[in-house]
Chain A
Amino acid sequence: KQEVTQIPAALSVPEGENLVLNCSFTDSAIYNLQWFRQDPGKGLTSLLLIQSSQREQTSGRLNASLDKSSGRSTLYIAASQPGDSATYLCAVNGGSEKLVFGKGTKLTVNP
């Protein structure tokens, strides 16, 4: 059974800092992995989708990497801004038609 863990559960950084969020999964036989952002009281917004054949994906200041063999993914946020404050969730698709989510990392970027 796939399990997804995100560490840390919460992170507080000063504005401008580069940061890394971590996601680990127990079953390396995955189809793809997605990173989402959730703002309070809102739905989830897909940030990056990495297929199992890819090592990384980039969008603006965000870069997600995938290492299937070690069961890890990281989300790198460059030059963080207060508007990046949100909960970031990682979700793994093992090819069984459903995503398994981690519990998220709550990020606070202080001005």
Chain B
Amino acid sequence: DTAVSQTPKYLVTQMGNDKSIKCEQNLGHDTMYWYKQDSKKFLKIMFSYNNKELIINETVPNRFSPKSPDKAHLNLHINSLELGDSAVYFCASSQGRSPGELFFGEGSRLTVL
């Protein structure tokens, strides 16, 4: 069983569209994250949720809206996609608010044309 799973793995869309990426973890962790990895492979945190509560929101445009229906799921919705949104988005989870060992999904590669 995959510990942290993301869907879709690949997403190609036009500028201006709205898209969502879903993430689920079956590790029983209480904290989930979204990270963005840009074309230079630099990994940077976007959001973090602990028990469905938003605890980190890193200077991310309002077009990005995370939603956590329960502590096992964290989805990312992006409105009005722009070319600069093209990246790989990684979901991760850990136990506790201050991350110990982090478990990552395989990433969702978003390409905006």
Q: Closest residue to A51 on the B side, CB-wise?
A: B100
Chain B residues in 8 Å Cβ range of A43: 4, 90, 104-107
Say yes or no for B1: interface residue by CB 8 A criterion: no
B42 CB to closest chain A CB (Å) equals 6
Asked whether, in the complex, the Cβ of B106 is within 8 Å of the Cβ of A46, the reply is no
A44-B90, A104-B41 given; A99·B102 CB < 8 A: yes
Compute how far the CA of A93 lies from the CA of B94 in the bound complex, rounded to whole angstroms: 13
Max chain B Cβ within 10 angstroms of own Cβ: one of A31, A44, A95: A44
Compute how far the CA of A41 lies from the CA of B42 in the bound complex, rounded to whole angstroms: 14
Compute how far the CA of A91 lies from the CA of B99 in the bound complex, rounded to whole angstroms: 11
A16-58 vs B, CB cutoff 8 Å, 1 = contact: the mask equals: 0000000000000001101010000111111001000000000
Instruction: Please give the number of chain A residues whose Cβ is less than 8 angstroms from any Cβ of chain B in the complex.
Output: 23
Asked whether, in the complex, the Cβ of A95 is within 8 Å of the Cβ of B100, the reply is no
In B9-26, which residues have CB < 8 Å from any A CB?
none
Say yes or no for B77: interface residue by CB 8 A criterion: no
Q: Closest residue to A99 on the B side, CB-wise?
A: B99
Task: State which of B43-51, B61-69, B78-86 sits at the interface with chain A.
Answer: B43-51
Asked whether, in the complex, the Cβ of B98 is within 8 Å of the Cβ of A103, the reply is no
In A56-111, which residues have CB < 8 Å from any B CB?
87, 89, 91, 93, 95-99, 101, 103-104
Q: Which B residues lie at the A interface, using CB under 8 A?
A: 4, 33, 40-45, 48, 55-56, 58, 90, 92, 97-107
